[in-house]
Structure 1
Amino acid sequence: MGSRFSHTLFLLVCLCITLISDAYATGCSSLKLTGGKKHYSNCTELPSLNSTLHFTYNATNSSLSIAFSAPPPKPDGWIAWAVNPLATGMAGSQALLAFKVNGSMVVKTYNISSYSSIVEGKLSLDVWDLEAESDKDGKMTIYGSLKVAATVGKLNQVWQVGPGMVDGHPKKHDFAKANLAAVGELQLVEKLSPAASSPSPAPAQSANSNSGYGLRVSEINAAFRILGLISLLVLV
């Protein structure tokens, strides 16, 4: 009897450890960057264009460091990631755009004042540490840091991919469903409910939610329930 109980207890502990390990395995570590040379606090699979965003928000100096990855539609194409301080679409966005020049990746900044004016220019936000790279499969990654307003808790983000460049200007991207859906909110600061309020249901994942976050929470809760059951069995 004691041997059978010990075996059952061992299996329950192994199950608990497996649940917790799998929960954390579905997080940022499973979303690999092109070169894997930098580390970020958060990551998400964006809902369109097979793209991902890794980012770290530093509230002490209101800076945001990002790594945006996506495959361009053609080998000589371009990728872009932007924030829009004024609206939710492309017009008014402050964009980082990467493409190849003589086989080497470069990053340019585009202050997109309107849909008909997409020219290289200085952004309204301070940016630094800009660089880009591509892997053997053609996927491109933009690295960079930017200054955001000290009071901002979220940003409007826009991302896009295009077929190539002409005379230093990006060719128009497709207007397929995936391209038109490449917008969303980037939550920089976690929303906290007032202490006096009653618990509310967990919010649905948005475009910036950490990949697998909801899954991790449910699995971890299940793991702790199993631990509680183990404790009761031991006490009995």
Structure 2
Amino acid sequence: MATTSKTILLFCILISLFLISSAQSCSNYTFSGTKIFKSCKDLPYLQAHLHWNYIASTRKVDIAYRATPTSPGWIAWAINPTGTGMVGSEALVAFLNPNGSMTAYTTQINSYNPSMQPRALSFEVSNIRAEYSTNEMIIFAIVGPLKNGTTVNHVWQDGNSVSDNIPQMHSTSGPNIQSMEKLDFLSR
């Protein structure tokens, strides 16, 4: 009887782990409302996911960037139009306000200690907004037209704190310095 109980317990744990890991996947995520994205990617660091629809006729990308920050701090997703890495990237940033609402805006990352003040980007960003639900933040926006084709160098981040409505420095080790890659918006 004890062996049967242990087997059932082990089976339940394995099923739970499968359900938890599959729930984190971008491919089975359902957005509130009627929003549907044709393409998505589970990003390899910071519990983040990128969803998108590439609109070939306008060279724009409708995106949703989802992340679970380590605390209700802030998240950011960026394109670096001139190189790789953080410096030179142009970001969409969001954070949770004390009253429960979200703030979302654009900023330029021009150093390793950027001001994180709202700034215009070299490419157009429209319809930017953010949501917070079940410890997850989501930034929605339409980005483009893209100047350098459909392949971009992108960067994503999260940080622990916001002070006076300005996101503060993120960790400078581990996943925070690894969260960058090349992405082709024509891929699925």
- Give TM-score scaled by structure 1 length: 0.64
Matched, 1:177 2:178: no
Q: SS in structure 1 opposite 2:87?
A: coil
Alpha-carbon contact 1:35-1:135 (below 8 Å) kept: no
Counterpart amino acid of residue 122 in structure 2: S
Q: Does the CA-based 8 Å contact 2:113-2:169 persist in structure 1?
A: no
The one-letter amino acid of 2:123's match is L
Q: Is 2:76–2:94's contact at 8 Å kept on the other side of the alignment?
A: yes
Q: Look up the match of 1:195.
A: none
Q: Secondary structure at the match of 1:79?
A: strand
Asked whether the equivalents of residues 59 and 150 of structure 1 are also in contact (C-alpha less than 8 Å), the reply is no
- Following superposition, the deviation at residue 164 of structure 1 comes to 1.7
- 2:131 maps to 133
Sequence identity percentage: 36
C-alpha distance in 1 between matches for 2:121 and 2:147? 18
In 2, distance between residues paired with 1:160 and 1:188?
Answer: 20
| Structure-1 residue corresponding to 2:156 | 159
> What residue in structure 2 maps to residue 55 of structure 1?
52
2:87 pairs with 1:79: no
In structure 2, which of residues 32, 39, 42 is the aligned counterpart of residue 42 of structure 1? 39
Q: 1:139–1:33: structure 2 CA closer, same or farther, 3 Å change rule?
A: farther
- Shift of residue 116, structure 1, vs aligned partner: 2.8
**Cα distance in 1, alignment partners of residues 153 and 175 from structure 2:** 17
Match of 2:84 in 1: 88
Report the Cα distance in structure 2 between the residues aligned to 1:33 and 1:125, rounded to whole angstroms.
Answer: 28
Secondary structure class of the residue paired with 1:39: coil
Query: For residue 65 of structure 2, what is the aligned residue in structure 1?
Result: 68
* Superposition CA RMSD, Å: 1.8
Q: Confirm whether residue 189 of structure 1 aligns to residue 182 of structure 2.
A: no
Letter of the 2:125 partner, please give it.
V
3-state SS, counterpart of residue 175 of structure 1: coil
- Answer yes or no: is the 8 Å Cα contact 1:34–1:140 preserved in 2: no
Return the TM-score normalized by structure 2.
0.79
Runs (5+) with no aligned partner, structure 1: 1-26, 191-209, 211-236
1:100 aligns with 2:96: yes
Q: Which runs of 5+ in 2 are unaligned?
A: 1-24
> Does the aligned pair in 2 maintain the 1:33–1:69 contact within 8 Å?
no
Q: Which structure has the highest helix share of the two?
A: 1
Find the residue that maps to 1:180 and give its secondary structure: helix
Residue of structure 1 in register with 2:13 after alignment? none
- The code of the aligned residue for 1:90 comes to M
* 2:103 is aligned with 1:115: no
| Larger strand percent | 2
Report Cα offsets for 1:143-170 as digits up to 9, x if no partner. 0011133551300100000012112221
Indicate the SS of the match to 2:176: helix
Aligned AA for 1:165? Answer: V
Tell me, what secondary structure is at the counterpart of 2:175? helix
